[in-house]
Chain A
């Protein structure tokens, strides 16, 4: 083979688009490198702090606290480390994004040129951010370093396109014996170790205090069904007294109502949140973006948070608050699932209905709905399942339902009655789980 070709890129002129793409990969690869080194540096500091620096001031010990200058030094040091390592050709980020640093002439970049590149980087990149970047394809530090960043992806494509198939590839290795595998394994190990220390995991406490939990379990295991049918005269919620069964029935109606309302409202919205129906028209795109944004934001806010909001709004302990919270989250979660289902349908029938002169609504009614109905049913039942489980917890923040009793007796320390409530909840959740699973199977056909 020729000794020369490492030099300049094979194709001298890159299009504007290619330069932008290369620049983007370059920046992303840099940040990947920086994040990895930053993480390693953070871990090293944490370990030093935890295991060896027992002489440091007490308020530093075993905390994440660094001195006031600590974070800025860490950031600057890892940044520097990244620049140095990238200039010496040690960069995971470059490999990940298919980039390679090559000399513009000769076999390899001399050490002095590499040092020059590191020095120039500190001038070139800040200036580039300030808007003084003459040529994004070859920034100043690259030129000073006698180096050029090339895309190995593009090269591989050209090699594949060439008739002789390019240079012989190395055979595939097992995933964990590649450099990537080793790095991944290292990072996993590091994360586990670091996490174990940070969350203060302690197996010996778990074992030594097991007797405490034992007491609790013994009480729960002897459930007290005193208040199962008869109302507890002491427990008063919104001027009413309730038995476990009363609140269980109430909770079931909460889930039914919220699932029903949520589905009915998510159904029409799901068509507006589907890319393939809304098309590329500016108005369609706007509607799509708004609806999808609504789904994503309202889904990201957990039911528990919605319950908190509505409990304040309509009153603490009111089941209506729970219904509202469950409904809102159901709309967003189902809407997203529904929309994705619509996006996955066959486009042929849509085309056929359009070709016969059908309008938007007729396309939905005759081409979309028949295709998505089974999945819609399945998702709705699945959501009902989730709502049943969720409805028992939201009482914690005052959204009513059976959970109110659970947390009341827990706070009273009446663990035997808690046991009875738990059994009632488990029975209902299990039954609903079974029922919805059975219905789903029937419906999907």
Chain B
């Protein structure tokens, strides 16, 4: 069976007005349902901008983004918020509210589904609370629910970030360099959570990664960016030494991360 296209990106361009920096030029690619697509490339190659264009945290300059057939670039702000509920996002710096408890951080993932007045007083429904505890259990942090987020280690904070994204019951996960701030051992376990979510919950994952070794291990397909353009799109096995040098530059050496 031919898998359905989950996300289709067509001629996406982003130009930052100040300084006229072209972050993305004319990108076209598509992501199939259930895929684990890894975007690699040097710092500044446009990975983060690409991910943030998909949920329009950054407003694209031109091009089209279609999520399950819905054109996102022309949606109104409130409609876009409703679409964002279905897209979880994980960040390099975790982006937790450090002074709030883990549970509050996780519940914040339900904000898109909660009426404004209820969220103002902090009354999340009973099912939301149950779901939050279930997701915390899933990432192995159930007993930390009432601890302040800044008391956790980097790896634990990222797991809270994952639980928060899962609260949205997403069909697509946008993952921005999830392990750049973590040590190699933790990196691997964090990546395994994404793999699990991808396989068991059938969530499409679009992630950017620094390390090619991780990309090879977890990606079902790889997209390489350089200066805002696609230089490679294909299977992990297809990246040989020549391709590697093309993506990362002549002087680069591959580093193993296990």
A351 interface hit (Cβ, 8 Å): yes
* A353 engages B91 (CB within 8 Å): no
Bound state CA distance, A374 and B99, in angstroms? 10
* Nearest A-chain residue to B89, judged by Cβ: A355
* B164 engages A352 (CB within 8 Å): yes
Bound state CA distance, A251 and B210, in angstroms? 63
A354 interface hit (Cβ, 8 Å): yes
* B residues 96-126 touching A (CB-CB < 8 Å): 96-100, 104, 108-114, 116, 119-120
B252 interface hit (Cβ, 8 Å): no
* B99 engages A352 (CB within 8 Å): no
* Nearest A-chain residue to B165, judged by Cβ: A356
* B residues 163-179 touching A (CB-CB < 8 Å): 164-165, 167-168, 174
* B84 engages A366 (CB within 8 Å): no
Bound state CA distance, A354 and B94, in angstroms? 14
* B95 engages A349 (CB within 8 Å): yes
**Chain B binder among A120-128, A214-222, A357-365, A424-432:** A357-365
Bound state CA distance, A357 and B161, in angstroms? 15
* B residues 61-101 touching A (CB-CB < 8 Å): 78, 81-85, 87-89, 91, 93-100
Q: Shortest CB–CB separation between residue B97 and chain A, in angstroms?
A: 5
A393 interface hit (Cβ, 8 Å): no
Partner of A357, one of B96, B97, B100, B111: B111
Supposing A357-B82, A357-B84, A357-B168 touch, asked if A352 and B95 sit within 8 A by C-beta, the answer is yes
* B95 engages A351 (CB within 8 Å): yes
B242 interface hit (Cβ, 8 Å): no
* B87 engages A355 (CB within 8 Å): yes
* A356 engages B108 (CB within 8 Å): yes
Supposing A365-B120, A366-B119 touch, asked if A353 and B111 sit within 8 A by C-beta, the answer is yes
Bound state CA distance, A358 and B55, in angstroms? 13
Residues in A with CB closer than 8 Å to B88 are 355-356
Supposing A361-B120, A362-B119, A365-B119 touch, asked if A356 and B95 sit within 8 A by C-beta, the answer is no
B57 interface hit (Cβ, 8 Å): yes
Bound state CA distance, A383 and B69, in angstroms? 55
Residues in B with CB closer than 8 Å to A356 are 84-85, 88-89, 108-112, 164-165, 167-168
Bound state CA distance, A367 and B93, in angstroms? 15
* A370 engages B99 (CB within 8 Å): yes
Bound state CA distance, A349 and B96, in angstroms? 6
A88 interface hit (Cβ, 8 Å): no
* A residues 366-389 touching B (CB-CB < 8 Å): 366-367, 370-371, 373-374
A348 interface hit (Cβ, 8 Å): yes
Residues in B with CB closer than 8 Å to A358 are 81, 108, 111-112, 119
* Nearest B-chain residue to A363, judged by Cβ: B111
Bound state CA distance, A325 and B234, in angstroms? 69
Bound state CA distance, A365 and B119, in angstroms? 8
Bound state CA distance, A371 and B83, in angstroms? 27
Bound state CA distance, A348 and B57, in angstroms? 12
Partner of A359, one of B96, B116, B168: B116
* B84 engages A352 (CB within 8 Å): no
Residues in A with CB closer than 8 Å to B114 are 362
B229-240 interface mask toward A, CB cutoff 8 Å, 1 = contact, 0 = none?
Answer: 000000000000
Bound state CA distance, A228 and B222, in angstroms? 83
Supposing A351-B57, A352-B96 touch, asked if A357 and B91 sit within 8 A by C-beta, the answer is no
Bound state CA distance, A367 and B174, in angstroms? 20
Residues in A with CB closer than 8 Å to B78 are 359
* B95 engages A370 (CB within 8 Å): no
Partner of A366, one of B57, B91, B108: B108
Q: Shortest CB–CB separation between residue B95 and chain A, in angstroms?
A: 4
* Nearest B-chain residue to A368, judged by Cβ: B97
* B108 engages A352 (CB within 8 Å): yes
* Nearest A-chain residue to B87, judged by Cβ: A355
* A351 engages B91 (CB within 8 Å): yes
* A354 engages B57 (CB within 8 Å): yes
Q: Shortest CB–CB separation between residue B91 and chain A, in angstroms?
A: 6
Residues in A with CB closer than 8 Å to B168 are 356-357
Bound state CA distance, A357 and B109, in angstroms? 8
Q: Shortest CB–CB separation between residue A315 and chain B, in angstroms?
A: 39
A323-355 interface mask toward B, CB cutoff 8 Å, 1 = contact, 0 = none?
Answer: 000000000000000000000000011011111
* A355 engages B57 (CB within 8 Å): yes
* B97 engages A367 (CB within 8 Å): yes
Partner of B91, one of A352, A361, A362, A374: A352
Residues in A with CB closer than 8 Å to B104 are 366, 370
Residues in B with CB closer than 8 Å to A374 are 99
Residues in A with CB closer than 8 Å to B57 are 351, 354-355
Residues in B with CB closer than 8 Å to A348 are 91, 93-95
The interface centre, meaning the residue of B88, B96, B97 with most chain A CB atoms within 10 A of its CB, is B97
Bound state CA distance, A63 and B94, in angstroms? 67
Residues in A with CB closer than 8 Å to B113 are 357
* Nearest A-chain residue to B78, judged by Cβ: A359
Q: Shortest CB–CB separation between residue A207 and chain B, in angstroms?
A: 57
The interface centre, meaning the residue of A352, A355, A359 with most chain B CB atoms within 10 A of its CB, is A355
Q: List 11 A-B contacts (CB under 8 A).
A: A349-B95, A349-B97, A351-B57, A351-B95, A353-B111, A355-B57, A355-B174, A356-B167, A357-B82, A366-B104, A367-B97
Would you list the 6 A-B pairs with minimal beta carbon distance, nearest first?
Answer: A357-B112, A348-B95, A355-B89, A352-B95, A357-B85, A357-B84
Given contacts A352-B89, A370-B100, 16 further A-B contacts (CB under 8 A): A351-B57, A353-B111, A354-B57, A355-B89, A356-B112, A356-B165, A357-B111, A357-B112, A357-B168, A358-B108, A361-B116, A362-B114, A362-B120, A365-B120, A366-B111, A373-B99
